[in-house]
Amino acid sequence: MEYSPLPRVFYKTADSAGQRGGFMLKSEYLQRVYSQVVTRDPDQKEFHQAVLEFLESLDQIIDRHPEYEKKGIVETFVEPERVITFRVPWVDDQGKVQVNRGYRVQFNSSIGPYKGGLRFHPTVNLSILKFLGFEQILKNSLTTLPMGGAKGGSDFDPKGKSDEEVMRFCQSFMTELQRHIGQFVDVPAGDIGVGAREIGYLFGQYRRVRGTYAAGVLTGKGLSFGGSLVRTEATGYGLCYLTQEMLSKMKNDSFQDKTVVISGSGNVAIFACQKATELGAKVVALSDSNGYIHDPKGIDLDVVKDIKLGHRGRIKEYADRVPGSTYTEGFRGIWNVPCDIALPCATQNEIDGETAKIIVKNGCLAVAEGANMPCRPEAIQEFQRAGVLFAPAKAANAGGVATSGLEMSQNSMRYAWSFEEVDRRLKTIMTNIFHNIYTAAEECGKPGDLVLGANIAGFMKVADVMLSQGLI
């Protein structure tokens, strides 16, 4: 059907659109879809933001695909297939009973088993997990690997807990989760707060409860029981591979001799720092939730690894150990440090419109999201308006899940690839992701709009499969 011209409809919401005063969707169909999302779950602001960004991209092509409305594809796409919530009781070292809340959002399995990380962090709630799971559909689609979208986790905080406490929590969590996962059903991975220690405890409990050695049920495992080389490095490396390709294609440039600021100091930030340095850049700042360090000479990554990976310390230790460096309280201040390339790798919504203006004013050439949705919608608009290259998370940080998919392949083969082989495949996947989203943006008449390109390229693959499989 043809859509007649519609009035420009603006929704004014307190926060559901990333605090943009108003926004517009031209398509009446997409207006209805978004209104339904907000009406059903008015408190899920993070999820609203992710859906809105997606629908704004889809607005560019929806009139060419009347079958999407006829078959209800978009409203089906934004609704999870299954949402599981459960309590997680466990006993701390003092013998006191603690109760946390566990989740698994199984969003879409059209192109493969549900796939997405588990996050253990006090900020975890259903809104955040739905936005992460929704983004995961598109991200996994972009990798070209057969993986659906999911996300899960708990409001449990592993920081400051003993190994025994973490083990007891993980065992309780998996006792419930094991009912809902499997290597052909749902394959969780690690995320914030879920590293090698947690994955080990989770896998051990799955094996114990199910009485089977299904190595492919979790990714991010230790190398000695089915894990993949490059898994720890994957998201940070992949971020840099895509950014390098973006700089080359769109600016005829590279990381060479560029100044880089990276927020965060977890695995993503650490290995983005490592790869950016290998590619010729100088990384001058990192952060954690307390504050940030600035080292004009370039970050000494060995010191950072010792602090963060060696004894789970705070980033401020760096300033005490490295002469000439400084530490500043408040992690958001890191974006005052001038840079050529910005790689936000900390958390969602850390860069707002005002912060984006500072980044632009300081002469930044490119921004690529290593974390999930760290830039608010108004920040993205600022970057695009200023001509700053911008790569959205669903494309730029897909290296982690891509390597998880490669780990699944290795588990099925009962064979482990070398570090070099996995790294080569990862680089190929990330390079192809860039070219796919770049081409999709061009075909939509919006050359250089990689947000649009990522949303369209990721969605079209899944939508075609949904049409093929019927109403599910």
pLDDT for the residue 372:
84
Sign of dihedral through CA atoms 207, 111, 227, 122? negative
State how far the Cα of 426 lies from the Cα of 58, in Å rounded to an integer.
28
Q: Structural domains in the chain?
A: 9-78 (no CATH), 82-215 (3.40.50.10860), 234-391 (3.40.50.720)
pLDDT band at 23 (very low <50, low <70, confident <90, very high): low
Distance of CA 354 to the CA centre of its chain: 23
CA dist 361 → 184, 382, 390, 455 (Å)? 49, 11, 16, 28
pLDDT for the residue 2:
29
Which residues lie closer than 8 Å to 267 by C-beta, 6 or more apart?
A: 195, 232, 233, 235, 236
State how far the Cα of 144 lies from the Cα of 135, in Å rounded to an integer.
15
pLDDT of 14 higher than 50: no
pLDDT of 18 higher than 80: no
Share of the chain above pLDDT 70, in %: 95
pLDDT of 301 higher than 50: yes
Which residues lie closer than 8 Å to 384 by C-beta, 6 or more apart?
A: 390, 449, 451
pLDDT of 349 higher than 90: no
pLDDT for the residue 275:
98
pLDDT for the residue 217:
95
pLDDT of 20 higher than 80: no
Question: Which residues belong to the active site?
Answer: 151
Single-letter amino acid, residue 453: G
Mean pLDDT score, 398-418: 90
pLDDT band at 19 (very low <50, low <70, confident <90, very high): very low
For the segment 146-188, what is each residue's pLDDT rounded down to a tens digit? 999 999 999 999 999 999 999 999 999 999 999 999 999 999 9
